[in-house]
Structure formats: structure tokens, C-alpha cells
Amino acid sequence: MGRKLDPANKVKRGPGRKARKQKGAEAELAKFLDGRIGTTSVIRHIFLLPKNTKYLVMCALRVAKRGLKLADMWRILPLDLKSIYQRIKGNVEVLSDFNNRREEGKDRADYLSLLKEDLCTYYSYNTFLIEKLLEIFPLSELIDFLEANEIQRPITIRTNTLKTRRRDLAQALINRGVNLDPLGKWSKVGLVIFDSPVPIGATPEYLAGHYMLQGASSLLPVMALSPQEGESILDMSAAPGGKTTYMAQLMKNTGLIVANDASAERLKSVVGNIHRLGVTNTIICNYDGRQFPKVMGGFDRVLLDAPCSGTGVISKDPAVKTSKEEIDIKRCAHLQKELILSAIDSLNAESPTGGYLVYCTCSIMVEENEWVLDYALKKRNVKLVPTGLDFGKEGFTRFKHHRFHPSLRLSRRFYPHSHNVDGFFVAKLKKFSNTVPTTTVDENPGDAPSTVEKTKLKAKKQTPSKSDTDNKKTETNGNPAKSITKKSPGPLNKKMKMDGKKPQKFVKKEGAAAQQAEKTGEKKEGNRFEKKEGKKKWKKPMKEKRMGNNKFKKFKKMGQKAARA
């Protein structure tokens, strides 16, 4: 019977193969760690935790290699995730009713710091991202969001109505054994795939262009844009072409679509999808979106799916959990501000049917969504309008100490735990004037109005009044021309010096022009700003060219050598 027990004779025949391997691993580990980490009793205690002895030996080797202490070995050993999850739930319950459930001697900061550490450990996020999510979501909703990111979103496809109908496509796929359902009441072309015995991306229907593999959330921006037949549309970031082909089928291959993307490599997928789906009204180009208004403009509608940090699609790309830091969010936000301004400049406000821009990202960060829109509202003549989407949560009008434009509640946020789609943000803007405002706006989001007022007040304080300038003129012992030349801007003085003209003559002309303007009642507003710039830029001209310290030392040494010789 080999190593098995004899049912007739109930006597064990000695240790089996696994037991001998366990004993040998213990002996090997004890021999290696003897005198380095601790006693053999501690080693036996360590071996009782996991069953995989090979993993333990590797852990011990890593500990010894790093020169760590025995206490640090517990960081390498497997953690008890069940106890961590129970602790997370307990902390969330305490923080939801803190006054009644908290322990004596502990404040809210202690509970929050422990909760952050547990969330980072259990869900494998970095500290920065967990802190950001705690600012956006309430605690109970945050756990739901993190749990939803651990589950893959259902596979969805979009019917290409240029070649077939959804009913016919669904029947054809059901005949192939595919288990599917309509996406929802809000979409007339979407289908959800639950199970399929054949690859969805390799069926004859797919190769014939009857459908496109596309996430449910990426249908929303095109529905919000609502392109009409015969219009000219710009898709500023078109790759891989799902939104572009959806717009083409809504326009029934009429009008014109310009599909642009900054990456020539990604445009190859756009070309392939356009040919496969039978789209004929699209031109593909490869330009930097920030410079696109210099290439062409005057579009009826623009779709901007801006590059983002991808914090809404963590279920597709788990690397986002640990790879994103604050500098990445700021870099994306700066690029998005540049792109949204160029997208607005590409629009034609006088279009009879359009003048609309849809801005969307697959991020849930406020810095990449509401802050960017608030900046665009102050830099261009645009306003927010309803998206036309029946579901989704309203955008933020206040976040921490920042206050945004009240119309931002017309934007829509989509979350995986609430709507079973990828995290997404959609907003629709209407351009009402082609002129660009000349007012300067602070780029710090949420603080622009207050900072602009401060700069205006500061400018008023710095610009001298008429009475102050008259007093300064009288203090110069009857020589007003001399005092004015001191206050005049630096570039003017340089020009006069080059031309060889005396500054007094120039000032007399300027004074005569000013007197004539006062008689006619005209005000010269540029003078005070020129004086203000002059104060900043003015530097006294040096009589002789100053020699640098290094050059002086060099000449000094040369002189000393010459004297010695």
C-alpha cells in the first residue's frame, strides 16, 4: 500500500514525504539563522504561521540580507487581511457616530490615521490617493468605491447602426451562444455581454463592423454632445476611435468629422476602426491639440476627451493605485487647461445649430474636472448648459475651502459603485462670443475672484495719483523735467541714449502733449501703466562696465606673474 495507512493495521509507518521536507526546512533555516536573528524556539513559532516552508526560507533570507531585526520580519510575512477588514469596518462605524462610540483618550485624528493605514494595506493604494479619496467621498461611500474598483466592469458593445440594427445583432450573437442583455433604458445601441463561448473581439459580426467594443461610460460624452446631421465636428483626442465612429453613425455619415490625436501610433487604431465600421465622413490628422486653433477652426461642435490620471478606471488599470502622486495630478490639470482653451477657440459661436463643447475625463479628481471648468469659465466667453443625461451625480460647487461657479452643478459625475460604469466626468459648454476676454485670471482654481480683486487693489495703490505727481514735481527745485526723466521707463531712456537726444526735450514734448490732452478732455490711460512698468524695469545705467570677480582675480594673478618675471 506504499506510504498509505493499512486499514487492517492501524499503525503509522513513520513520517511521510511532506513531514520530512518540513523538518529539513526547519533544520536548514535554524542553521542559517543561528546567532543572527534569534533562538530556535522563535523559528519554530514562525513556522507555525504559514504552511509554505519555501516562502518562509525566502523571507528569512531577505531579512538577513537587509540586516533587519527580528521584529521587522513580521512586515514580510503574510498579513491577516480578515482582521484588517474587520478593523476597517469598526473604525468606519466609530467615525460615523464619533461622539457615542469613541474610546476615551482617542480623538478623531487617531482613528483616521489608523483607517488610512489599513485602507492602504488592504486595498494596496498609496497614501496620497487614499487621502484624496477621503476628501471626495464620505467614509461609507469610500468603502463601496474601493470595493467596486476590485471588480471588473461588465463587457459592453455598441451596435453600429450604419450596418445593422441592435435587435438583429443581438439575435445573431445569441445564436452563437452569447448571453447578453440591453445596456439600459438610457442607451439605444448598447449591449451587455455576460458570457460568451467565443471571443467577442473575433466574431464574424465584429470583423464585419456590426459592433464596436466600447465601455458604457464612453457613450455618455457623445450623447451629451448630440451631433446633428450636416455639422462639422472636431474630436480633439480621438484615439482609439470609439467616440468618433459613434458620432459618425449619429450623423448618418453626413457632414464632416475631424479626428485629431497627438500620438501618431494611436491613430493607427482610429484608421482601422473607421474602415471596419464603414465611416466615410471623417478626416484624420495628427496635431498637438494645444496648437490646433492655428491649423483650423470654426467647428459647430467639439468633443474633448482630455488626457487624465485615470483614477476612474482603476478596475482596468490597477497600477494607478500606487503610481499616481500629486505632481501627476497637477501636470494633467495644467495640460487640460491648455486643451480646453484651444477647444473653445476652435468653436464657432455664431453657428446656427452648434457652438457646443463637451469636456470629459475618466478621472474623479476635482483638480482635473471642476477646477479646469472654473478656469475656462473665467478665461473665455462660455457658459455651462445641461448635458441632457438623465442620471449621474451633480458636480461640486465647493470643495474644501474652494468655491466654484454655481453652474457647475450642471456637470455630471459617474461612479462604479453607483452606476456600474467606469468613473467618469462629463460637462457641456456653450460658447456665446468669439471674442477673447482680456482680463487676467489667476490659474489657482477656486481662488480666482479674490486674487483678481487683490491685484486690482494693489495696482491702484502702486499707481500714483495726479496730486502726488504734482507734489513730486514741485519738490525738485523748479526742475520738473529732471524728476520726470527719473520716473520714466527704462526702455525709453535707453532709446534716448542711443539716439543721442537730451531727455529734457523729450519730456517737454510729452508735457505739451499731456497739456493738450487735458484741454480736449481726453485721458491717456497708458501713462500710469507705463510708469508702473518703469518702476519695476528701471535700473540706473552704469558708467563703466563692471568686471567680474573671477576675471579680476585672473588679471591679478597675471600681473603678479609679470612682476615676478
Task: Give which of 415, 377, 375, 374 is closest to 394, Cα–Cα.
Answer: 415
What pLDDT score does 86 carry? Answer: 87
Residue 238, annotated as binding a ligand: yes
What pLDDT score does 454 carry? Answer: 44
Amino acid in position 399 = F
Residue 237, annotated as binding a ligand: yes
117-135 per-position pLDDT tens digit: 999 989 989 999 999 999 9
Beta sheet of 211-213, edge-to-edge order: 179-182, 190-195, 155-159, 211-213
What pLDDT score does 564 carry? Answer: 77
Residue 261, annotated as binding a ligand: yes
Instruction: Measure Cα distances from 144 to 49, 415, 418, 419, 554 in Å.
Output: 31, 10, 9, 12, 71
Q: How far, in Å, CA of 535 to CA of 558, rounded?
A: 42
What pLDDT score does 233 carry? Answer: 96
Annotated catalytic residue: which of 59, 120, 308, 362? Answer: 362
In the DSSP assignment, the letter for residue 325 is -
Q: How far, in Å, CA of 16 to CA of 301, rounded?
A: 75
What pLDDT score does 440 carry? Answer: 56
Residue 240, annotated as binding a ligand: yes
What pLDDT score does 530 carry? Answer: 45
Q: How far, in Å, CA of 224 to CA of 426, rounded?
A: 8
What pLDDT score does 288 carry? Answer: 94
Pairing of strands 179-182, 402-403: unpaired
What pLDDT score does 481 carry? Answer: 40
What pLDDT score does 310 carry? Answer: 93
pTM of the complete model: 0.67
What is the 3-state secondary structure of 266-303?
A: CHHHHHHHHHHHCCCCEEEECCCHHHHHHHCCCECEEE
- pLDDT beneath 50, residues of the chain: 1-6, 10, 35-54, 68-77, 446-514, 517-536
Instruction: Identify the three-state secondary structure at position 197.
Output: coil
What pLDDT score does 273 carry? Answer: 95
Residue 332 appears among annotated catalytic residues: no
Percent of the chain residues past pLDDT 90, beyond the cut: 52
Residue 448, annotated as binding a ligand: no
The count of C-alpha atoms lying within 13 angstroms of the C-alpha of 471, restricted to the half-sphere facing its C-beta, is 5
What pLDDT score does 59 carry? Answer: 54
Instruction: Identify the three-state secondary structure at position 466.
Output: helix
Give me the chain's average pLDDT, please. 77
Residue 243, annotated as binding a ligand: yes
Angle at 358 between CA 353 and CA 362, to 5 degrees: 160
334: Cα separation from own chain's centroid: 9
Hey, what's the torsion of the CAs at 123, 126, 127, 133, to 10 degrees? -60
Q: How many CB atoms lie within 10 A of CB 178?
A: 20
